[in-house]
Structure 1
Amino acid sequence: MTRIDHGPQRIVCLTEETTEWLYLLGQAHRIVGISGYTVRPPQARREKPKVSAFLTAKIDQILALRPDHVFGFSDLQADIAAALIRAGVAVTVFNQRSVEEIFSMLYQVAAMVGCADEGLAHIAAMRARLDAIRAEVAALEAAGKRRPRVYFEEWDEPPISGIRWVSELLGIAGGDDIFPELAAQPLGKDRTITDATEIIRRAPDIVIGSWCGKKFRAERVAARPGWQGVPAVRDGQLFEIKSADILQPGPAALTDGVEQLHRIVRNWMQQHA
């Protein structure tokens, strides 16, 4: 039977999450260009031209690929989007910041490429796993285990706490974000912790680092002035989750990212009343 591809045929993905999603949907053949930061899936780096960073893009190279649609993410790519629109390219820039907004983006992309049913099946499986994690956490709480206080750090100098979808996934995984008021802020500059002693005061039981684009150094965190008495440092509860697994607002965060959060939190809960 002849395959009929609906929707855009030549897509450039300026961030990783739409690339990963199209591969999961079996639509990799539509992708003609990707972000240079893409690591998921690994074959995308081998197969597709890299035409953008995050804040910048090679507009001439993108146009040379003759895309009929470009997918971007966030207000930070507004200038790239504007340049492409002026050149006559159709552009969709998503701005998902919560778990539900991620699911909405996934459905919209699936529908745009004629894979609404396949997309819904993947989404249902992800939702089912999140519900299973919630049930595991509820069972631990029913057994008298308390939820840990967790500090999630996106950047170290200055310290920036986790974005909304990370905070929400942390809650699903069984932890309590120590900066929930900052998680609601969409921009990194608004999640900057101006007084680092406030982290000490909130006494996290666990510290999780995901320093966007560089390796998390637990020993540097432990050596910060005044941190020796922080429960997470005292008990050796400092962990890294790679930014590609948790800071990409797409399939990665809803699968591998939340699983890693849950593993860290579950191990702590099992050891503490």
Structure 2
Amino acid sequence: MPAARIASLLPSATEIVAALGLADRLVGVTHECDTPPEVRALPKLTRSLLPPVLSSREIDRAVAASLRGDAHTVYELDSALLQALEPDVVLTQALCDVCAVPYAAVEGAVCTMPRAARVVSLDPENLEGIFACIEQAAAALGVPERGEGLAGRLRGELARIRAAAARRGGERPTVFLCEWLDPLFCGGHWVPEMVESAGGRDVFGRAGEPSRRVAWEELAAADPDVIVLSPCGFSAEETMRRFPEFAGAHPGWQQLRAVREGRLFAVDANGYFSRPGPRVVEGVRILAAALWGPDTSSPLPANTLFRLGPGGEWERVA
């Protein structure tokens, strides 16, 4: 029997629950959960501890200070609300303390609840890990067959994208997927594999490994064919709005080959790259469109891919 009351402390977990057909069983979500739209009205179990208006550089400094201090997080869990909602299952993660409420805080809150709840930690490090987490969540929620079906469909779609990229032949374009604008970070964990699956060669990221800081000198020396701006947690619109932070911090950016050749892109990182959930395969399709041009037979979701034009204006690709 499916779990009756589910608390999700991850936007990706919320999307997984919905994709499994259990959105009506959700009793609480995070302040960042926005997909599907109906979850936005649910009680919010978390809040950000960061001021609402910070530059990319200021956010990086605040996160670093939090990790050096006692907090080890930039989020706060409403333990009292979690207890009041009385969930049967709590979905969370232990992979990244700056991406969500730390696992220890969740475990501590659940231990004080009068009604026992099962804590399920979803911690993928690569694309197959994401599919396995979908199956893990489905099993914990009492619908294992739905998880197997969903994960199987996603694996099949990814295989088709990879096969299409392989058929192109020739040398793969080099790619810098920028996971933070200032300072620069490359993508980590599943993101480099997304680049490879789309037919590119990630110049800095390594599949299964965390993201890391990239010095401007490294980027200038690598001078990749394609640059994809995909700052963690930002939509494409927010990335474009913040683009002056990238440009202002790196005066030589206009000399990069990707910029000169019109191959600097902004994507919806929040929906399709940062969240290890069902939409990640769509993220691979978005990357493939950036590398090779859109597939007109299969339109991409709206407002997910933009290109910086020769006059400095952003042009919508999808």
Settle same-fold status: TM greater than 0.5: yes
Secondary structure at the aligned position of 2:76 is classed as coil
Deviation at 1:222, TM superposition (A): 5.2
Q: How does 1:51-62 map to 2 (within 5 A)?
A: 51-53=45-47, 55-62=75-82
Cα deviation, 1:12-33, whole Å, max 9, x if unaligned, reads 1001111111111111122100
Matched-pair contact (CA < 8 Å) for 2:34–2:40: yes
Deviates more, 1:151-160 or 1:220-229: 220-229
1:239 counterpart (265, 281, 288): 265
Cα deviation, 1:144-185, whole Å, max 9, x if unaligned, reads 4x311111111112111101201101100111111034x543
Deviation at 1:116, TM superposition (A): 1.6
Deviates more, 1:74-83 or 1:118-127: 74-83
CA distance in 2, matches of 1:82, 1:116: 24
CA distance in 2, matches of 1:9, 1:43: 18
CA distance in 2, matches of 1:213, 1:134: 26
Matched-pair contact (CA < 8 Å) for 1:222–1:233: no
More helix as a share of residues? 1
Structure 2 residue 150 is the aligned partner of structure 1 residue 125: no
2:213 counterpart (192, 199, 207): 192
Structure 2 residue 188 is the aligned partner of structure 1 residue 163: yes
Structure 2 residue 232 is the aligned partner of structure 1 residue 212: yes
CA distance in 2, matches of 1:91, 1:81: 8
- Tell me which of the two structures has the higher relative contact order, counting C-alpha pairs closer than 8 angstroms and 6 or more residues apart: 1
Deviation at 1:220, TM superposition (A): 5.1
Q: Over aligned residues, Cα RMSD in angstroms?
A: 2.0
CA distance in 1, matches of 2:44, 2:287: 30
Deviation at 1:127, TM superposition (A): 1.1
Cα deviation, 1:1-59, whole Å, max 9, x if unaligned, reads xxxx33x321110011111111111111221001111122122113x212114732111
Query: Residue in 1 aligned with 2:204?
Result: 179
Structure 2 residue 2 is the aligned partner of structure 1 residue 26: no
Cα deviation, 1:97-156, whole Å, max 9, x if unaligned, reads 111111111001111222222221211111111111111111111xx4x31111111111
Deviation at 1:219, TM superposition (A): 5.5
Query: Residue in 2 aligned with 1:271?
Result: none
Matched-pair contact (CA < 8 Å) for 1:98–1:165: yes
Matched-pair contact (CA < 8 Å) for 2:188–2:205: no
Query: Residue in 2 aligned with 1:86?
Result: 111
Matched-pair contact (CA < 8 Å) for 2:131–2:154: no
In 2 relative to 1, CA 221–236 (structure 1 residues): closer, same or farther, beyond 3 Å? farther
Secondary structure at the aligned position of 1:119 is classed as helix
Query: Residue in 1 aligned with 2:31?
Result: 36
CA distance in 1, matches of 2:244, 2:19: 37
Structure 2 residue 106 is the aligned partner of structure 1 residue 72: no
Secondary structure at the aligned position of 1:107 is classed as helix
Secondary structure at the aligned position of 1:138 is classed as helix
Query: Residue in 2 aligned with 1:253?
Result: 280
Q: Percent identity?
A: 31
2:209 aligned partner, one-letter code: Q
Structure 2 unaligned segments of length 5 or more: list them. Answer: 48-73, 295-318
In 2 relative to 1, CA 51–85 (structure 1 residues): closer, same or farther, beyond 3 Å? closer
Matched-pair contact (CA < 8 Å) for 1:205–1:232: yes
Matched-pair contact (CA < 8 Å) for 1:84–1:91: no
